[in-house]
Structures are given as C-alpha cells and as structure tokens.
Amino acid sequence: MQAPTPPQARPPIRLTAQLLTCLVFLLIAAVIIVVAQDEPLSVFTGPMGVGNQLLFGLGLSALAAVGSYVSFRLTASSESTRKTIAAYARLDLSGFNPVWISLAAAVGEELLFRAALQPLLGVWITSVIFLLTHTPVYQFRKLDKATLVQAAGMFGLSVALSFIYQYVGLLAAVLVHVAIDVVGLYVVRNALRARG
C-alpha cells in the first residue's frame, strides 16, 4: 500500500500575472470612462490640480504608510493579520516585486473603481464591488471574526480612497493606494522570511 501523496502546493503568483490583471482593469476602465463620461480626460484632472494632488497625495501616502505599519505592529499576533499574510503568501515578493505589484494594483484598481465606476455607482456600491473583487484573495467566504475584520478593513480602505478621489483627485488616490500596498507587501515578505 502506497503512502498518500501530500497535496501539491499551489505555484506562486508571478509579477506578470499581476501586471496582466492591471492591464485588464485598465482596459475595462478605459471602455467605461469613454462610453459613460462626457469628458473622459477629466478623470485625470480631478477637483484639484495635478500639483496639489501630488502634494496632498504624498502627505496622505506618508500618513497611510505609517498607519498601515502601526496597524500591523499592533495586530501582529491577531488571526486577521495571520490570514492576511497567508492570503498574500503566494505572491512572488522577491526583489522589488512588492513595489511593482503595488503600482500595478493601485493604477489598475483606482482607474477602474474610482475613475470609471464611482461616478456611475457612487462611493458605497463601488466599495462593495471593490470588497467583492478581493474575496478570492482574502477568502471572505468564511464568516468568522477575523474575516469580518479583514472585510471591514478592505471596505473602509475603499471608502477612504473613494473620498480621496472625490475631493482631491485620482493621482492622490493612486499614491495612497501604492503606499498602503507597498508597506503591506513588505510586511508580508518580512513575516514570511521570519517564519523560515
């Protein structure tokens, strides 16, 4: 009688897969923006000029990065943090990949959710859709306390990014999104390395 073979580990998610996802989001966003908006290029100008968006975006990004890191440090031993680390463990986080993944996710998701969908659906419905698109990664199907904390955090992040887009502009929302993701992915990488 043969010993049962252990289940195969799922292969890592490569940077190219992340970039292709970004490209798909960009294409969907472009179609929605061109079809649904009278002035498609206005999504880039926003309520503030590009210079002000950059300044506000950098300031908000610094706050978001510090907040993200402090949040991790305060919840490092929680079940929701362990689940978040496990959710991103399959990503190829070698080298500068956390930066490239963060840039791709921020540009693709902000153009799709904020610039394309938010003007049509509003902040709240767009944030629900943002949350639902993250369900496969976070495995929100399991409704325990840790999962609800993760889902609430993801929804809250989307609402915050929506208001940044609405009152400051797309560039600022992208910068904040990048900052949060970069910090998060480096935290995940360091936690995975610490485990060995």
pLDDT in tens, 39-77: 888 888 889 989 999 999 999 999 999 988 888 888 877
HSE of 196, CA atoms in CB hemisphere, 13 A? 0
Cα separation of 184 and 172, whole Å? 18
Predicted model pTM: 0.87
Reading the block at residue 94, the tokens are: 């070698």
Within 8 A by CB and 6+ apart from 37, the residues are 43, 119
Cα separation of 82 and 89, whole Å? 10
Reading the block at residue 11, the tokens are: 């292969």
In the chain, % of residues over pLDDT 90:
49
Of 66, 73, 68, the C-alpha closest to 153 is 68
Q: pLDDT tens for residues 86-98? A: 878 888 888 899 9
Cα separation of 195 and 170, whole Å? 37
Cα separation of 186 and 121, whole Å? 33
